[in-house]
Amino acid sequence: MPGIRRIRIDPSEAKPARDPIFVGAVATQEVVNEAHAELLRVTAVTFDDGARNRPHRHSTDQVLVVTSGRGFIATDEETLSLESGDVAFIAKGTRHWHGASSGVSFTHLSILTPGHMEIDDATTV
């Protein structure tokens, strides 16, 4: 495998997300996966109008880099608006959810190291 590599984020390469964490129309493109890196995972996630994910927590820290649209990230205590150029840091173990604002789509890069994700049973947010 080469020491450097260019990978283009291409919405036409995104696939509809079938993971039960998502509510609404969501598409994902693996940008960096286990075939590329041992300790890094980067996924481009696009939430259509009002789509989001269910409350969940990761066993590792997470960084979200917003590349387009408007959305939010929330915890039980607060909700932050996000737009292109924003970066959100979520400490490991933090119960949170994120998605598109009403009427717009929202794309972010999700950056994680390998670990475990737990989806909360509670569906109210």
Q: Is the dihedral of CA 53, 31, 109, 34 positive or negative?
A: positive
pTM for the complete prediction? 0.91
Helix/strand/coil (H, E, C) string of 25-78? Answer: CEEEEEEECCCCCCCCEEEEEEECCCCEECCEEECCCEEEEEEEEEEEEECCCC
Percent of the chain with pLDDT over 90: 81
pLDDT for position 2: 66
Pairing of strands 79-83, 117-119: unpaired
Alpha-carbon distance 113 to 4, whole Å?
Answer: 19
Percent of the chain with pLDDT over 70: 95
**Mean confidence (pLDDT) of the chain:** 93
Q: Which CATH number fits domain 14-116: 2.60.120.10, 3.40.50.720, 3.60.20.10, 3.30.2320.50?
A: 2.60.120.10
Q: Which residue has the higher pLDDT, 5 or 16?
A: 16
pLDDT for position 30: 94
Q: Hey, how many other C-beta atoms are within 10 angstroms of the C-beta on 60?
A: 16
Domain residue limits, the chain: 14-116
pLDDT for position 11: 84
